[in-house]
Amino acid sequence: MPFTLIEIEPHAFVLSPLETSYGMSNIGVLVEDGAATLIDTGATPRHAFEANKQLLETHDVYIKRVIVTSSKVAFTGGSQVFWKASFYGSQLTSEALDIAPSLEAFKKLLPAFTDDYTAEDFAPRPVTHTISEHVAVTRFAAAQPFAGDTSNNLLVTTDTIAFLGSSTSFGVTPLGFQANFDQWVESLQTLHASDIEQFIPGHGTPGSKRDLEQFIAYLQACQQANGDVSQLAAGPWDTWANKEFDAINVERAHAMSQGIDTIGDAMYTLLGIDQR
């Protein structure tokens, strides 16, 4: 899978897939003193290998550390390619990656990558360092816990850039089956009010505050649909990829508004799981 290496500013890049859909996820890159810090790893080992190859063709670096923004396979599926690197994640991500991967669920979620998720070939890298507070990860970047599509994602920032990973997508519908939508909206609104001007989503091309505003508006529209996807307001998200996730997000947003913290039927349906 081809990637485009986009320079955001000196020493900060993103490896962005040419396709835009869920699973075609971005990999952030911070370069310092001949070492690279990656932010997420792609959805499969194959994707990670191709991204790593492209990076090394243009930069004489070694992969020193990897920061995963959540445990979701779209962002950790390539982790085994970077086994020698230190791995940083939240406590929630660390705990999730210690559990045996649900390969059949991955295949249902990302059917185009079925051949990548086999017991013989797929072995996600566990987290070696957990991050529970704001901490410097390079001389010019820091990581911190962040409420996104889970309550305990990570956010990586420089003075001017936010690498949001799993917490945001531009042009791709997010998958919020574990999200607290109130917390998600609040954390993004706080970030929007900061001095940061460039936002690197987990899926889609790098964007501006305007792109972040549209993403926040989508989350709010999910909340306002009151559990009925047919009542989801029209907006820029009408043309986003992976519209099958709308029902999942609307159902989850409504459940959380009622104090019900559970995975909804729409997500189980997507995965082909019968809850009867």
Share the mean pLDDT of the chain: 96
Q: pLDDT for 190-212, tens place per residue?
A: 999 999 999 999 999 999 999 99
Per-residue pLDDT tens digits for 83-124: 999 999 999 999 999 999 999 999 999 999 999 999 988 999
Nearest-angstrom CA–CA distance, 79 and 85: 10
Domain span holding position 208: 3-121+149-270
To the question of pTM greater than 0.85 for the whole model, the response is yes
**Confidence check: pLDDT of 276 > 60:** no
For residue 117, the 8-state DSSP code is -
Average pLDDT over residues 222-244: 98
Task: Say what the pLDDT of residue 104 is.
Answer: 94
Q: Of the candidates 149, 147, 193, which has an alpha carbon nearest to the alpha carbon of residue 174? A: 149
Q: What is the structure's pLDDT at 49?
A: 96
b/e burial code for range 36-74 (CB count within 10 A of at least 16 → b): bbbbbbbbbbbbbbbbbebbeeeeebebbbbbbbbbbbb
Residue 135 counted as domain residue? no
Tell me how many domains the chain contains: 1
Q: What is the CATH number of the domain that holds 114?
A: 3.60.15.10
